[in-house]
Amino acid sequence: MPTSVVTTIFLDDGGVMNDNALRGPEWQRLVGEYLSQVLEGYLEGMGVRDLFRTLYGPDLVNTAKQVPEYHSRIFEDAGVEPGVAVVVDDSPLAIAWAREAGAMGVLVSAEGEGAGPVIPSLAVLPAFLASLRV
């Protein structure tokens, strides 16, 4: 997939917000605001923050991450066609679901094992995306 057609990249949040929907809207808002700042700082530190327009978690689409329709809900909420999206995650199952939804799935695996594109860390994401150019 050439990077010229990739308009949106979705990143696994590391599981830090998976249970927020069970804790009520005030907790979701407070934790979401705090963690989005932490996540933004993390992504900035790795030099990849500018690749992400919006940071999503399960609380923003009212769907647990561990279900196949999670990415479809995000695509719908963001107004993004899956064919122009890249989903970056450390879960092979989540990547499989993203691919079933029509997105490119990139697995983050330090061991370098997995189906399809695999990167060892987010630090190499910009180079990976650059390699997609044709």
Fold of 3-131: Rossmann fold (3.40.50)
3-state secondary structure 34-81: HHHHHHHHHHHHCCCHHHCCCCCCHHHHCCCCCCCCHHHHHHHHHCCC
Q: What is the pLDDT of residue 99?
A: 94
Query: How far apart (Å, rounded) are the C-alpha atoms in residues 102 and 123?
Result: 25
Q: pLDDT tens for residues 87-122?
A: 888 889 999 999 999 999 999 888 877 788 999 888
Q: Which residue has the tokens 């279900």?
A: 67
Bridge partners, residue 118, by sequence: 107
The answer to whether 53 and 8 are in contact (CB under 8 A) is yes
Q: pLDDT tens for residues 51-76?
A: 777 777 777 777 777 888 988 998 99
Q: Which residue has the tokens 């010229």?
A: 4
Query: How far apart (Å, rounded) are the C-alpha atoms in residues 90 and 54?
Result: 19
